[in-house]
């Protein structure tokens, strides 16, 4: 027996669930819904002014993208990785994205490379990047790393990096990558990676992407560890 109410399958509900999914995803990525914070259907329903049906669909998608998790006896909460889990995530990202850059150098078309440079031109006009405060990239086609993976023309990599892990990586990359001179340096590194891809230098593209992700990893982990220390529950440190 189907437990989903018939009205949950209508185009209107699906469209509403899509909108709420993107709004909640953006709130999580930007830190408006803090890591580890509890979220409830009544609270979200009131905040977004929608019924439980489309909200539940949006939350199912957030859970599938690893942005929220169900905790026994607690309910749903925004994902909060440990430093160890974050290190593992970036280890995977370094290995797979460097592979994607190598394949992109071998397979990206001139049109795709031109599109990649257009993305960087959009980024360069952003006020936060100009001020050196942050380097926020919108999801999908306006995300430099997303476009590189698409340019690899490898469907396995696309599934892993543009679907399975994409939103989780984007969350930590967005919230903890802006520090000191890192935003501007990351932008320069992006240009060098594109130069290598355009030159068809697969080995250099792979090396530059590996170094780029490694630098981001170190920056993110340092900032995240400091944030965890600031918000550590006193009860956890008591002997």
Mean confidence (pLDDT) of the chain: 83
Q: Return all residues near 142 (Cβ < 8 A) that are at least 6 apart.
A: 119, 122
pLDDT at residue number 93? 93
> Do the beta carbons of residue 183 and residue 37 sit within 8 Å?
no
> Do the beta carbons of residue 34 and residue 78 sit within 8 Å?
yes
Mean of pLDDT values over 33-48: 87
Kindly tell me if the per-residue pLDDT of 206 is higher than 80: yes
pLDDT at residue number 3? 35
Q: Return all residues near 65 (Cβ < 8 A) that are at least 6 apart.
A: 25, 166, 167, 168
Condensed to tens digits (0 to 9), the pLDDT of residues 96-143 reads 999 999 999 999 999 999 999 999 998 888 776 666 666 667 777 888
Q: DSSP 3-state assignment of 209?
A: helix
Token pair of 231, please?
A: 């918000």
Kindly tell me if the per-residue pLDDT of 224 is higher than 80: no
Mean of pLDDT values over 141-158: 94
> Do the beta carbons of residue 206 and residue 99 sit within 8 Å?
yes
User: Could you identify the residue written with the tokens 């892990």?
Assistant: 165
Query: What is the distance between the terminal CA atoms of the chain, rounded to a whole angstrom?
Result: 52
pLDDT at residue number 148? 96
What is the Cα–Cα distance from 160 to 2, expressed in whole angstroms? 31
Give the whole-number percent of the chain exceeding pLDDT 70: 84
C-alpha distances out from residue 173 to 154, 223, 235, Å:
23, 11, 29
Give the whole-number percent of the chain exceeding pLDDT 90: 38
Query: What is the pTM for the complete model shown?
Result: 0.78
Mean of pLDDT values over 9-21: 71
What is the Cα–Cα distance from 175 to 51, expressed in whole angstroms? 30
| Nearest Cα to Cα of residue 61 among 28, 35, 34 | 28
What is the Cα–Cα distance from 204 to 54, expressed in whole angstroms? 46
Q: H-helix or E-strand containing 70?
A: strand 68-71
Neighbours of 229 (CB within 10 A): 9
Q: Sheet harboring 75-78: ordered strands across?
A: 38-39, 75-78, 68-71
User: Could you identify the residue written with the tokens 């993208």?
Assistant: 65
Tell which wins on pLDDT, 224 or 114. 114
Tell which wins on pLDDT, 117 or 228. 117
Kindly tell me if the per-residue pLDDT of 185 is higher than 80: yes
Count, residues in the chain: 239
What is the Cα–Cα distance from 222 to 98, expressed in whole angstroms? 22
């Amino acid at each position: 027996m189907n437990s989903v109410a018939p009205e949950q399958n209508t185009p209107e509900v699906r469209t509403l669930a899509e909108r709420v999914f993107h709004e909640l995803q953006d709130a999580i990525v930007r830190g408006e819904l803090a890591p580890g914070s509890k979220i409830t259907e009544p609270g979200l329903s009131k905040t977004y002014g929608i019924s439980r049906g489309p909200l539940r669909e949006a939350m199912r998608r957030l859970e599938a993208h690893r942005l929220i998790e169900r905790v026994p006896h607690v309910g749903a909460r925004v994902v909060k990785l440990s430093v160890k889990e974050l290190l593992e995530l970036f280890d995977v990202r370094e290995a797979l994205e460097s592979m994607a850059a190598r394949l992109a150098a071998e397979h990206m078309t001139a049109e795709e490379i031109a599109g990649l440079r257009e993305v960087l031109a959009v980024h360069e006009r952003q006020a936060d990047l100009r001020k050196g405060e942050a380097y926020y990239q919108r999801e999908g086609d306006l995300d430099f790393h997303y476009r590189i993976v698409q340019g690899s023309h490898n469907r396995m990599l696309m599934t892993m990096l543009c679907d399975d892990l994409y939103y989780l990586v984007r969350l930590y990359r967005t919230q903890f990558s802006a520090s000191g001179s890192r935003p501007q340096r990351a932008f320069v590194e992006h240009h060098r990676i594109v130069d290598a891809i355009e030159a068809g230098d697969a080995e250099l593209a792979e090396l530059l992407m590996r170094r780029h992700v490694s630098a981001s990893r170190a920056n993110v982990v340092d900032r995240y560890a400091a944030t965890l220390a600031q918000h550590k529950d006193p009860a956890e440190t008591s002997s």
